[in-house]
Amino acid sequence: MTIKAQFDHSNCADCPIRHRAVCARCDADELEALDAIKYYRSFEAGQTIIWSGDQMNFVGSVVSGIASLTQTMEDGRTQMVGLLLPSDFVGRPGRDVAPYDVQATTDVVMCCFRKKPFEELMDETPHIAHRLLQMTLDELDAAREWMLVLGRKTAREKIASLISIIARRDASIGQKGLSGQIVFDLPLTREAMADYLGLTLETVSRQISALKKDGLILLEGKRHVTIPDLGRLMEEAGDDSDGGFLV
């Protein structure tokens, strides 16, 4: 069930994702046009936002919270194929049917646009189309980065990769630095991590325990993580620790 949005963005100027979302490049006029076709929806953690195969009648941006794109095989095996953070875009202009399940991993607020008007708007305003192209290219890069993780990394490297990516994204959104300690909460269950990494949840649990034992991460409870040295963790992930690109 959709719960009530806990904040009212009557004004796009106040929007927390204003400068990163699909509308980032829009001028006042364009923003007004978008405003006319937008509405907010909220979802509780665990809810499915869109079912694979469903008719899509909106596209939109994640305003707050985390959602995931998931593919499922007939026999039930699942693979997460995308992690949607605030400002990420959901849906594809020009496509009617959703190819993946979209699920709210945490409580999620979305800024939705009715698809038809959005598509028309996109044809008229190059700023939107251009920004969407940029974001899609970024997602493609992230997907390809992830293919390397899925195809060639060991379980330990996969976990280290995931944790350092979450840490970097978190730091990037919160404008915190990457040097010194990084502290954050894992937004994913062990099972969701396993789905993302192509592992079982038991293996995820074991490898997290191992990283903890080796002092690469500190755990308080199940979810609260402190990274004493991100560089060391990224080495463990098999990345060159200079790789400074933030998704």
Which residues of this chain interact with a copy of itself, rule CB under 8 A? 69, 71, 73-75, 77-79, 81-82, 92, 94, 99-100, 123, 126, 129-130, 132-134, 136-137, 139-141, 143-148, 150-152, 197-198, 238, 240
Between residue 132 and residue 191, which ones bind DNA under the rule CB under 7 A? 154-156, 189-191
Exposed/middle/buried for residue 233 (C-beta within 10 Å: 0-12, 13-18, 19+)? buried
Q: What span, in angstroms and rounded, lies between the C-alpha atoms of 77 and 177?
A: 38
Shortest CB 68 distance to a copy of itself, Å = 12
Minimum CB distance to DNA smaller for 6 or for 179: 6
Minimum CB distance to a copy of itself smaller for 36 or for 143: 143
Q: Does 209 bind DNA (CB under 7 A)?
A: yes
Shortest CB 7 distance to a copy of itself, Å = 31
CA-wise closest residue to 155 among 209, 216, 197: 197
CB atoms within 10 A of CB 150: 14
Q: Does 205 bind DNA (CB under 7 A)?
A: yes
Selection from a copy of itself, DNA, none that 44 binds (CB < 5 to 8 A by kind) is none
DSSP type of residue 64: E
Q: What span, in angstroms and rounded, lies between the C-alpha atoms of 195 and 177?
A: 29
Shortest CB 39 distance to a copy of itself, Å = 24
Element (H, E) at 209: helix 201-213
The per-residue DSSP string of 101-162 comes to: EEEESS-EEEEEEEHHHHHHHHHH-HHHHHHHHHHHHHHHHHHHHHHHHHHH--HHHHHHHH
Minimum CB distance to DNA smaller for 200 or for 241: 200
Q: In the complex, which residues of this chain contact DNA (CB under 7 A)?
A: 154-156, 189-191, 198-206, 208-209, 219, 221-223
